[in-house]
Amino acid sequence: TIGINEDGLEEFAEIMSANLPSEGEEVSGDEVCGELETDQGPMNIYSPLSGHVVEINEAVVENPDLILEDCYGDGWLVRIEADRPEDIERLARASSADDDDDDGDKE
Protein backbone atom coordinates (compact mmCIF):
# COMPACT_ATOMS: atom_id res chain seq x y z
CA THR A 1 0.00 0.00 0.00
CA ILE A 2 1.39 3.37 -1.04
CA GLY A 3 0.59 6.68 0.63
CA ILE A 4 2.24 9.87 1.78
CA ASN A 5 3.44 10.31 5.35
CA GLU A 6 2.86 13.36 7.56
CA ASP A 7 6.29 14.80 6.76
CA GLY A 8 5.43 14.86 3.07
CA LEU A 9 2.12 16.62 3.71
CA GLU A 10 2.99 19.21 6.35
CA GLU A 11 3.25 22.17 3.95
CA PHE A 12 -0.22 21.64 2.46
CA ALA A 13 -3.48 23.03 3.85
CA GLU A 14 -5.66 21.50 1.13
CA ILE A 15 -5.55 18.82 -1.55
CA MET A 16 -8.00 19.55 -4.35
CA SER A 17 -7.55 16.44 -6.49
CA ALA A 18 -5.74 13.12 -6.64
CA ASN A 19 -4.76 11.82 -10.07
CA LEU A 20 -3.84 8.19 -9.51
CA PRO A 21 -2.72 5.45 -11.91
CA SER A 22 -5.34 3.01 -13.18
CA GLU A 23 -5.80 -0.50 -11.85
CA GLY A 24 -3.61 -2.85 -13.85
CA GLU A 25 -1.21 -0.07 -14.86
CA GLU A 26 2.50 -0.89 -14.69
CA VAL A 27 4.57 1.42 -12.51
CA SER A 28 8.35 1.72 -12.22
CA GLY A 29 10.33 2.28 -9.05
CA ASP A 30 11.28 5.91 -8.41
CA GLU A 31 9.15 7.08 -11.35
CA VAL A 32 6.13 9.41 -11.24
CA CYS A 33 2.91 7.42 -11.08
CA GLY A 34 0.40 10.12 -10.16
CA GLU A 35 -0.13 13.67 -8.99
CA LEU A 36 -1.86 15.56 -6.21
CA GLU A 37 -3.17 19.05 -6.89
CA THR A 38 -2.58 21.03 -3.69
CA ASP A 39 -2.97 24.60 -2.48
CA GLN A 40 0.81 24.91 -3.06
CA GLY A 41 0.64 23.56 -6.62
CA PRO A 42 1.05 20.08 -8.09
CA MET A 43 2.89 17.36 -6.17
CA ASN A 44 4.20 14.31 -8.01
CA ILE A 45 3.62 10.87 -6.51
CA TYR A 46 6.53 8.47 -6.99
CA SER A 47 6.26 4.71 -6.90
CA PRO A 48 8.77 3.23 -4.44
CA LEU A 49 8.93 -0.02 -6.42
CA SER A 50 8.18 -1.57 -9.80
CA GLY A 51 5.03 -3.60 -10.29
CA HIS A 52 1.42 -3.15 -11.25
CA VAL A 53 -1.44 -1.35 -9.56
CA VAL A 54 -3.94 -3.79 -8.05
CA GLU A 55 -6.21 -1.22 -6.38
CA ILE A 56 -6.69 2.52 -6.16
CA ASN A 57 -8.38 4.27 -3.26
CA GLU A 58 -11.53 5.65 -4.86
CA ALA A 59 -12.34 7.43 -1.58
CA VAL A 60 -9.37 9.80 -1.98
CA VAL A 61 -10.28 10.42 -5.62
CA GLU A 62 -13.74 11.52 -4.41
CA ASN A 63 -12.45 13.30 -1.26
CA PRO A 64 -8.73 14.12 -1.58
CA ASP A 65 -8.61 15.79 1.84
CA LEU A 66 -8.75 12.27 3.33
CA ILE A 67 -5.03 12.18 2.54
CA LEU A 68 -4.44 15.07 4.96
CA GLU A 69 -6.97 13.87 7.53
CA ASP A 70 -5.82 10.24 7.81
CA CYS A 71 -2.65 9.60 5.78
CA TYR A 72 -1.89 6.35 7.65
CA GLY A 73 -5.46 5.01 7.44
CA ASP A 74 -8.21 5.93 5.00
CA GLY A 75 -5.91 8.32 3.09
CA TRP A 76 -3.83 5.63 1.36
CA LEU A 77 -3.42 6.05 -2.42
CA VAL A 78 -2.74 2.79 -4.29
CA ARG A 79 -1.87 -0.84 -3.72
CA ILE A 80 0.93 -2.19 -5.89
CA GLU A 81 1.91 -5.80 -6.47
CA ALA A 82 5.69 -5.75 -6.66
CA ASP A 83 7.53 -7.37 -9.56
CA ARG A 84 10.28 -8.38 -7.14
CA PRO A 85 9.41 -9.44 -3.57
CA GLU A 86 12.85 -8.34 -2.37
CA ASP A 87 11.82 -4.73 -3.11
CA ILE A 88 9.15 -5.01 -0.40
CA GLU A 89 11.72 -6.33 2.06
CA ARG A 90 14.05 -3.43 1.18
CA LEU A 91 11.28 -0.90 1.84
CA ALA A 92 10.39 -2.55 5.15
CA ARG A 93 14.02 -2.38 6.27
CA ALA A 94 14.29 1.27 5.23
CA SER A 95 11.06 2.12 7.04
CA SER A 96 12.24 0.36 10.17
CA ALA A 97 15.54 2.25 10.08
CA ASP A 98 13.67 5.56 9.68
CA ASP A 99 11.50 4.71 12.70
CA ASP A 100 14.57 3.93 14.78
CA ASP A 101 16.21 7.23 13.82
CA ASP A 102 13.05 9.20 14.62
CA ASP A 103 12.74 7.61 18.06
CA GLY A 104 16.41 8.07 18.88
CA ASP A 105 16.82 4.36 19.51
CA LYS A 106 19.69 4.02 17.05
CA GLU A 107 22.37 6.49 15.93
Report d(CA 57, CA 18) in Å as an integer.
10
Query: Environment class of residue 104 by beta-carbon count within 10 Å: exposed (0-12), middle (13-18) or buried (19+)?
Result: exposed
pTM of the model as a whole: 0.79
CA 14 from chain centre, in angstroms, equals 17
pLDDT at 106 (0 to 100): 42
The CATH number given to 6-103 is 2.40.50.100
pLDDT at 100 (0 to 100): 53
Q: pLDDT 10s per residue in the chain (107 long)?
A: 889 988 888 889 999 999 999 999 999 999 999 999 999 999 999 999 999 999 999 999 999 999 999 999 999 999 999 998 887 777 777 666 555 555 444 44
